[in-house]
Chain A
Amino acid sequence: MMTKQVRYEALVKALHGDLYRYAYWLTHEKQVAEDLVQETFLRAWRALDSLKDEKAAKSWLITILRRENARRFERKRFDMSEYEEATITDTLSVTTEQELENHWLRDKIAKLPPEYSEPLVLQVLGGFSGEDIAGILDLNKNTVMTRLFRARNQLKEVLESEPVKRGVYNG
């Protein structure tokens, strides 16, 4: 029989990455994302017995994390335009052409309105279906699909308007 500790560790190992990324795209700050993930897993530990279906674990954790994030705003209201200067950038790892492009696109995704980026992150990163996302975000499915459409549409438009050369090329 699996003990609570073993279940918890399995849960952490399997899902901490997804959860961290989700928290990051929600908050745009590494430290805040890390704190959120820690809070989420601590709450998850306390309520672990209520998790009956291991398959639902991911959306369960994401729901806890969103609630924690909302609580963070109750405590202290952050100015949402603060991340304008791309605190999200990870300049150290910008090495290859691919990384450079990722870096640029990350900036664009971060600038999407949160109501568009959130379903996109859930769909692309979390692998959730439209119904799942509607459940997690407490929206109806059509709204979710419309937002996903707009999110991709906007990204495509910025990509098409992007300069042919990005970044600094020397020589």
Chain B
Amino acid sequence: MDDLQFRRAIYADPNNLNADTIAALEQDASKKQFANDIALLDERIKQALQIPVPDYLCNKLILRQTLASHQVQKRKKRFHLALAASVAIVGGLMLNFMQFSSAYTNLGDYALAHVYYEEGSIANNANNQVSLTLLNKKMSAFDGNFSKSLGKLLVADYCRFDGMRSLHLVYQGITSPVNVFIVPKNEQLTFTSAFNDKQYYGNALGFNDSNIIVVGDKNESIGQWKKNISETVAWSI
């Protein structure tokens, strides 16, 4: 090992000498002296590099991290709360919408649905008959009055269908009962004066505060029914 190589090895890493360097150092007193000098220098360098570390730094580092992760948790919590609140509001609105809005957009659909809903519960040739007096008593809830009977009235009842209070009259028809509904005016349902589907025909009559709807099957003369109703019904103020 030549001198330059030796010096380079010592200078580069005085504390981790390889076997060659140690052997060279053992043979030569001046080399040993040089190695000692550099080791001393290194010790001084080490001392000089040991600048004081602020006492508070360790705690400050831990504190900062704790605060940072606390902030993150708080933000997460807030986000979850906001999410839950949003879901609750949307849920509430939807429930409201479904409960208080009509499933039907016009009188015809409403009346047909009502007819189908109660179809079959009253037979056309049923025995019971409702008197005109009783009918007019019920009509008084709508401030209405019939001057004479329109036919054999099988049933006269208030019913609440799809959230709307109405008077449902069932008359004996030619082949199947004729349904007459007296319903209060409703802004959500558009007035349709004539409507039909495969089985039924219907007509509606609009009055000041109420609508009257007649629904019967295709053998029935709905026009005649309509005419009779408009001639016999009278509304008190």
Partner of B53, one of A20, A102, A106, A159: A20
Task: Say whether A120 contacts B57, CB under 8 Å.
Answer: no
Task: Say whether B45 contacts A109, CB under 8 Å.
Answer: yes
A84 at interface by CB-CB < 8 Å: no
B58 at interface by CB-CB < 8 Å: yes
Interface positions of B from 35 to 59, Cβ below 8 Å from A: 37-38, 41-42, 44-54, 57-58
**Chain B residues with CB under 8 A of A111:** none
Task: Say whether B49 contacts A109, CB under 8 Å.
Answer: yes
Count class of interface residues, chain A: 35 or more
Task: Say whether A149 contacts B47, CB under 8 Å.
Answer: no
Contacts between the two chains (Cβ within 8 Å), count: 99
Count class of interface residues, chain B: 20 to 34
A90-B52 CB under 8 A given contacts A38-B61, A98-B47: yes
Partner of B58, one of A16, A45, A124, A156: A16
Task: Say whether A155 contacts B57, CB under 8 Å.
Answer: no
**Chain A residues with CB under 8 A of B65:** 8, 12, 41-42, 45
Main secondary structure of the interface of A (DSSP, over half): helix
The stretch that binds A, out of B6-14, B119-127, B128-136, B170-178, is: B6-14
A12-B11 CB under 8 A given contacts A90-B51, A155-B41: no
**Chain B residues with CB under 8 A of A156:** 37-38, 41
Task: Say whether A12 contacts B62, CB under 8 Å.
Answer: yes
**Chain B residues with CB under 8 A of A34:** 54, 57
**29 A-B pairs with C-beta separation under 8 A:** A8-B62, A9-B62, A12-B65, A13-B58, A17-B53, A20-B53, A21-B49, A34-B54, A38-B61, A41-B64, A42-B64, A42-B65, A42-B68, A45-B68, A45-B69, A105-B44, A105-B48, A106-B49, A106-B51, A121-B49, A124-B42, A129-B16, A146-B12, A148-B11, A149-B8, A152-B38, A152-B41, A152-B42, A155-B41
